[in-house]
Structure 1
Amino acid sequence: MITLTQTEIDTAAGALFRAEAERRQIGLLSIAHPGITLDDAYAVQAALVARKRAAGLGVIGWKIGLTSRAMQQALDITTPDSGILLSDMAFADAATIPPGRFIQPRIEAEIAFVMKAPLSGRQVTRADVLAATEHVAPALEILDTRVLRADPETGRPRRIFDTVADNAANAGIVLGAQRHAPGAFDLRWIGAIVKRDGVVEETGLGAGVLDDPVTGILWLVHRLADYGQGIAAGEVLLSGSFIRPLEAPPGSRFDADFGPFGRVTLTFAEE
């Protein structure tokens, strides 16, 4: 249920849009609007993305977040969230992110799905998802937040509503060079060893994403159906992270080794 007025939705979206452009953070929307709902948060997200599209950006896909039990429990929720990937978020494998590009970037390891056919509707099945997938690939997601992680006065952490409104903390996507048929691997057993500056920081398996990364894609299709939306051919879908987010300060280097599935690297330039 939407409880915010259209003016409140547009004001929040405008504040987030300016915060990203100015590389700064705003206060928690969940404090400014104590009665905010998930529907409100997605309405703010839609208004934010509309502003970005009006500024000339195109949609290249979707991301699914908060798929792990640990992250859901941390935010006291039982459902993932989603956001929209835009054309300025795509970075090449082994890219160096220029200084000042993000506010407080973090990194997650994921399996990406690249679609060859559209998907929409509540009737879509797991088999339909696999049939509509052109290929899967190793990926890194760059997260950033235009909302404070915690309120400086109360110490209260941001909530799911803040994250969803902020386009699910979307900031960037890096696809590895390897491409695989969706049935070539059991994606539940695809894992990654993620190093920062040569030190292993995280490991994980695809099963950490709702027991199967394909389930994440299915969840997204079904959620979009509630809003009369769907997935288009050619879009890239990030199925959800199976590691905790890793801080990415200036000068840090990341190497995600997915074994036979592939490898992705990324560097953040020194300031």
Structure 2
Amino acid sequence: MERILAAAKAIASARRSRAPLKALAKDAVPRDEAEGYQVQRALHDLLQAQVGSLVGYKIGCTSAVMQEYIGIDHPCGGGVFEKVVHDSGVQLAAADYVHVGVECEIAVRLARNLAASEAPFTAEWVGEAIEAYYPAIEIVDDRYVKWETLGAPTLIADDFFAAGCVLGEAVPRNTAPDLLRVTGRAIINGKEESRGTGADVLGHPHNALAWLANHLAAEGRGLHAGQIVLTGSLIKTVWLKAGDSVLMELDGLGKVEATFT
């Protein structure tokens, strides 16, 4: 559809040039969230040369603090790409983003496929499909002139702020702590900025994963073994400036660090 591609091209152009995105042209604005996801898929095709292949997903607005902050009362998904998944300790240039921020997350790696034909998925079902957990920093980018005015369909079209992630050491599922009791702390330049718990993520991070699996299944798509899923932030987004060092500590899962130079 022409309007889907027009929207995807406009967003891809802004992402490549790191130019803050204004509202899309009236005839290109996705009319609803379903259309937003169509634009997102077209965008992924256009960005592949720049960011690499799709290796997983992020889920936004899974906690009350983030739903209130963004003003959207339900989860939203975006893509995670090969070239923007980093190991703990990475140094990244703040200038590579429009306005970079970080979120404290529990990430999962899948041991097996979750095919669309297996839906509907429950938290218990998807929990059994997890191979390992990671302490994670989701990197987000406020790529917009004023995101508050764009609406959920356009934010979804642009991967819902996603700009990559930093992963700590993998923790096998059979040795992982009770996620409900995991407290995550965001420490910026040595000072704790915020904290939250696994229970803040839709009641349990597995609920967020089940939401994603069911959302993709409704589009006839599945999750695949080896994919990474960021289940949602335990804290409100912390926006950064050049020179900031970031440490996320998650009880029982370990820590993950990054510096934005």
| TM over 0.5, shorter chain | yes
Quote the residue 1:248 is aligned against.
240
Query: For the Cα contact (< 8 Å) 1:62–1:85, is it kept in 2?
Result: yes
Query: For the Cα contact (< 8 Å) 2:61–2:73, is it kept in 1?
Result: no
Count matched residues. 259
Letter in 1 for 2:75: P
Query: For the Cα contact (< 8 Å) 1:177–1:262, is it kept in 2?
Result: yes
Letter in 2 for 1:262: G
Quote the residue 1:44 is aligned against.
39
Given candidates 158, 170, 173, the residue that maps to 2:162 is 170
Letter in 2 for 1:148: V
Query: For the Cα contact (< 8 Å) 2:77–2:212, is it kept in 1?
Result: yes
Cα RMSD (Å) of the superposition? Answer: 2.0
Q: Describe the shift of the 1:30–1:42 C-alpha distance in structure 2 as closer, same or farther (beyond 3 A).
A: farther
Partner SS for 1:148: coil
How far apart, CA to CA, are the structure 2 residues paired with 1:56 and 1:35? Answer: 23
How far apart, CA to CA, are the structure 1 residues paired with 2:37 and 2:237? Answer: 22
Partner SS for 1:202: strand
Please tell me whether residue 140 in structure 1 is matched to residue 137 in structure 2.
yes
Q: Which stretches of structure 1, 4 residues or longer, exceed 3 Å deviation after superposition?
A: 29-35, 73-77
How far apart, CA to CA, are the structure 2 residues paired with 1:12 and 1:34? Answer: 7
Structure 2: gaps (5+ residues): none
Partner SS for 1:140: strand
How far apart, CA to CA, are the structure 2 residues paired with 1:65 and 1:180? Answer: 24
Quote the residue 1:210 is aligned against.
202
Quote the residue 1:3 is aligned against.
none
1:127-206 pair list within 5 angstroms = 127-150=124-147, 157-181=149-173, 184-206=176-198
Quote the residue 1:102 is aligned against.
97
Q: Alpha-carbon deviation of 1:24? A: 1.1
TM-score by length of 1: 0.89
Quote the residue 1:62 is aligned against.
57
How far apart, CA to CA, are the structure 2 residues paired with 1:167 and 1:35? Answer: 13
Given candidates 4, 12, 16, the residue that maps to 1:9 is 4
Q: Alpha-carbon deviation of 1:173? A: 0.8
Q: Alpha-carbon deviation of 1:28? A: 2.1
Structure ranking higher in strand proportion:
2
Q: Alpha-carbon deviation of 1:98? A: 2.4
1:211-226 pair list within 5 angstroms = 211-226=203-218
Letter in 2 for 1:57: G
Cα deviation per residue 1:74-106 (whole Å; 9 max; x = unaligned)? 444332000111112111101000242111110
